[in-house]
Amino acid sequence: MLFCYGTLRFSDVLNALLGRIPDRVPASAPGYRAASLQGRIYPGLIVCGPGGSASGLVLTDLSSAEWFILDAFEDERYDLREIALSTGELGLAYVWPGGDVRPEDWDAEDFQSRHLEVYAARCARLAPRLAAGLPKNE
């Protein structure tokens, strides 16, 4: 199970990268927040302590090939970690290790209205390279 709190929450991005939209279940990550990152249009999941919670989705049926693509897609700075979810289960999430974190939370609606179309098109261009094990540099 992969907890998605940022761009992977969007069907357009998942479909562009994987060629389908995996099964999804709403969830949140207590004690974390999806932070805006300096100079990036995507967020980083960071620890925020008690009372905070990052909302998102859990992808429940990823194949090993799809995991490979998503691992290659995510920034090399992310750490794939197991975290506790609001569902009572543990899930994996790409956690931002620190640095470049802005004080405000990432705004999914702003991303959707301003960046999603171009971002999903970039993901569609990258997907064949990622699936072939090539670097994501275009």
Q: Is the pLDDT of residue 138 over 70?
A: no
Q: Can you tell me the distance from the alpha carbon of 79 to that of 122, in angstroms, rounded to the nearest whole number?
A: 23
Structural domain count, the chain: 1
- φ, ψ dihedrals at 56, nearest 5°: 180, -155
Q: What is the CATH number of the domain that holds 64?
A: 3.10.490.10
Pull the structure tokens for residue 63. 């194949």
Q: Is the pLDDT of residue 136 over 90?
A: no
Q: Are 125 and 16 in contact (CB under 8 A)?
A: no
pTM above 0.85, yes or no: yes
Pull the structure tokens for residue 106. 């990432």
Any domain includes 137: no
Q: Can you tell me the distance from the alpha carbon of 51 to that of 66, in angstroms, rounded to the nearest whole number?
A: 33
Residue 31: give the domain boundaries: 2-131
Q: What is the pLDDT of residues 5-35, one digit of tens each?
A: 999 999 999 999 999 999 999 999 999 999 9
| Beta-carbon-side half-sphere exposure of residue 55 (alpha carbons within 13 Å) | 6
Distances in whole angstroms, Cα of residue 42 to Cα of each of 36, 45, 75, 98? 7, 10, 10, 14
Any domain includes 136: no
Q: What is the pLDDT of residues 69-125, one digit of tens each?
A: 999 999 788 999 999 999 999 999 999 998 999 999 999 999 999 999 999 999 999
